[in-house]
Amino acid sequence: MHFSIMEIFLWLKAISIAMARLLPIVVLVPFFSSREVKGMLRYSITFSLALVVAPGLVGHSLIADITAEHMAFLVLKEVSIGVVVGALLAMPFWVFDSVGALFDNQRGALIGGQFNPLLAGASSPIGHILQQCVIIILITVVGVEVLLNTMWTTYEIWSPFSMIPEFPEDIAQRWLLDISKVFLAIVVYTSPLIVLMLFIEFAMALLGLYSPQMQVFVLSIPVKCLVGLTSLTMYLVVLFKFMEKEILYFGDIIRVFL
């Protein structure tokens, strides 16, 4: 099968427009951008996903008449859409990453950042583990098609060649509702572990009253780690159900635009 120079040029424009929306999604969603997926592999995934969208863009009547200025505007618009969609799809992963970070902060695993500013940006180990659990739940229980179907549906709602589609009047309220659900979920899912840590702190404070010579602060950290990790092991069964619920809720982000 032979392609002319014009056809190759049209395909390059279509793939570029498709990648402009998909690349921010791949960068933001931890399913595509975990520590193990980086560099050329990440761009290869974006290119493979763009090949699914590109045939529909090549057949569009407007793509042949796109000028350089119009192309730059389309790419900028598609990148903006990709950032919004990627942020919504990444929310379940961010929720449980924050749950792990709060738990690590309470049990003292991140205390090194208080004494050494160079360690302040260190990632939470439990947060990373919970984020990997969300990826496993997405693959084994929910299905990756939930994520992919949402990405493809955004092209039906907002075509790359259309300016601004008709949004519902309450779209701002829907955005605020989803954002509030994220922070509420972080607090609710972390609260059992945080309450347990507070009880341990209270018990250690009472112990310090009766034994002033004891280094309660030094003793409390291993106790909180031991009790907290044991409790987290039992609590994971409940967290897995919450992970499935959050993936299904934020995977259906099309409701925000309809």
Give pLDDT, residue 235.
93
Average pLDDT, the chain: 83
Give pLDDT, residue 121.
55
Of 19-33, 100-114, 198-212, the one with minimum mean pLDDT is: 100-114
Q: Taking the CB of residue 19, how many other CB atoms lie within 10 A of it?
A: 23
- pLDDT average, residue stretch 235-243: 91
- Token pair recorded at residue 31: 């399913």
Residue from 104, 3, 10 nearest 54 by CA: 10
Percent of the chain predicted with pLDDT > 70: 89
Give pLDDT, residue 256.
62
Give pLDDT, residue 189.
94
Q: What is the C-alpha to C-alpha distance for residues 111 and 125, in angstroms, rounded to an integer?
A: 13
| Number of domains within the chain | 1
Contact (Cβ atoms closer than 8 angstroms) between residue 243 and residue 134? yes
Q: How confident is the model at residue 231 (pLDDT cuts 50, 70, 90)?
A: very high
- pLDDT average, residue stretch 98-105: 89
Query: Which of 1-5, 28-32, 221-225, 240-244 has the highest mean predicted lDDT (pLDDT)?
Result: 240-244
Give pLDDT, residue 238.
92
Give pLDDT, residue 179.
84
Q: What is the C-alpha to C-alpha distance for residues 86 and 185, in angstroms, rounded to an integer?
A: 19
* pTM for this prediction: 0.83
Residue from 77, 58, 193 nearest 127 by CA: 193
- pLDDT average, residue stretch 238-249: 88
- Which residues, at least 6 apart from 74, have a Cβ–Cβ distance to it below 8 Å? 17, 20, 66, 160, 161
- Token pair recorded at residue 168: 């519902």
Residue from 200, 201, 205 nearest 227 by CA: 200
Give pLDDT, residue 64.
72
- pLDDT average, residue stretch 55-80: 82
Owner of token pair 């208080």: 114
- Token pair recorded at residue 154: 């955004």
Q: What's the DSSP call for residue 108?
A: T
Give pLDDT, residue 1.
54
Q: What is the pLDDT of residues 125-160, one digit of tens each?
A: 888 899 999 989 988 887 788 888 888 888 888 888
- Which residues, at least 6 apart from 43, have a Cβ–Cβ distance to it below 8 Å? 23
Q: What is the C-alpha to C-alpha distance for residues 246 and 253, in angstroms, rounded to an integer?
A: 11
Q: Taking the CB of residue 210, how many other CB atoms lie within 10 A of it?
A: 7
Counting Cα atoms < 13 Å in the Cβ hemisphere of 45 gives 17
Give pLDDT, residue 240.
92
Task: With a cut of 70, say whether residue 12 has pLDDT above it.
Answer: yes
Q: How confident is the model at residue 119 (pLDDT cuts 50, 70, 90)?
A: low
Counting Cα atoms < 13 Å in the Cβ hemisphere of 138 gives 24
Residue 38, domain extent: 5-257
Q: What is the pLDDT of residues 157-203, one digit of tens each?
A: 888 888 777 777 777 788 888 888 889 999 999 999 999 988 988 88
Give pLDDT, residue 30.
86
Owner of token pair 């009790």: 227
